[in-house]
Amino acid sequence: MQGMTKAEVDKAERNESALGDGPKRPRDAATLILLDRKGDDFRVLMGRRHAAHAFMPGKFVFPGGRTDPADSRVPVATGLHPEDESKLIARAGRTGSTRARAIALSAIRETYEEAGLLIGRKGPLTTGKRDWQGFVEHGVQPSLEAVRFIARAITPPGRVRRFDTRFLAAWRDDVAVALPNGPTNELEELVWLPLAEARKADIPTITRTILDELEKRLSDDPLLRPGGAVPFYRMLHNRFVRDVL
């Protein structure tokens, strides 16, 4: 997508999201790429969105959604690694450590809501936040130290919905509790796909771009150590550009 004009991006994404007058300022969003390593191969967890959704209907995506600032007040077993936190804060205007924490925790919460997977450590959790009661009931303290910042992308103008999405990653081993069924119906099905197969699935254009970036990073650093380069995709001067955080 790098270097494409807005018209070219609109054409590439014409079946992925409704065009129209959307909010002028993109809303913060977070998505989690859950990884499972089998020998030298990596698999990612993806789910199919309902066909009735206005944003990316019927597409396979990673669990994720809008960031809730209140998530920053949920207790955690461990915080973000300083290097990943600093990159979440970089080039984000009003973003501080509290907002960075909310973004990361939103990805963990959405993974629970959409996939029934509770990422963290076993241990008592006390919070009055309604969306986190599953963690309270199952005795899981959310943990952020293993979360890695992989990429960032801002939805181009002219969409019904626009998001400033941070793509985060964690390992399947970071799942403390896996429920047989997710508590919501936002995704029609969940599948673990090898990276090569995931790129061939019915996925949004930006998701394919992020998978390419992820494969390159895993090739250079299979352990996903903190502080790696984070590509940042956005529309600038009518061109979709790639910066590095």
Residue 197 has pLDDT above 50, yes or no: yes
pLDDT for position 51: 59
Contact 9, 235 (CB under 8 A): yes
| pTM attached to this predicted model | 0.87
pLDDT for position 157: 83
Q: Of 92-96, 105-109, 181-185, 230-234, where does mean pLDDT reach its minimum? A: 181-185
Angle in degrees, CA 186, 155, 169, rounded to 5 = 60
Q: In this predicted model, which residue has the larger pLDDT, 44 or 52?
A: 44
Q: What is the mean pLDDT of residues 32-37?
A: 96
Q: pLDDT band at 14, cuts 50/70/90?
A: low
CATH topology of domain 6-39+62-183+208-244: Nucleoside Triphosphate Pyrophosphohydrolase (3.90.79)
Q: pLDDT band at 160, cuts 50/70/90?
A: confident
Q: What is the DSSP letter of 243?
A: E
List pLDDT tens digits, range 55-73.
Answer: 566 788 999 999 999 999 9
pLDDT for position 203: 92
Residue 16 has pLDDT above 60, yes or no: no
pLDDT for position 183: 47
Residue 78 has pLDDT above 90, yes or no: yes
Nearest CA to 74 out of 95, 47, 43, 101 is that of 101
Q: pLDDT band at 210, cuts 50/70/90?
A: very high
Angle in degrees, CA 240, 81, 28, rounded to 5 = 40
Q: What is the mean pLDDT of residues 84-109?
A: 86
d(CA 80, CA 27): 22
Residue 158 has pLDDT above 90, yes or no: no
pLDDT for position 17: 55
Q: Which residue pairs, CB below 8 angstroms and at least 24 apart, start in 13-18?
A: 13/156, 13/204, 13/205, 13/206, 16/56, 16/59, 16/204, 16/205, 17/54, 17/55, 17/56, 17/155, 17/159, 17/160, 17/161, 18/54, 18/55, 18/159, 18/160, 18/161
Q: What is the mean pLDDT of residues 191-199?
A: 94
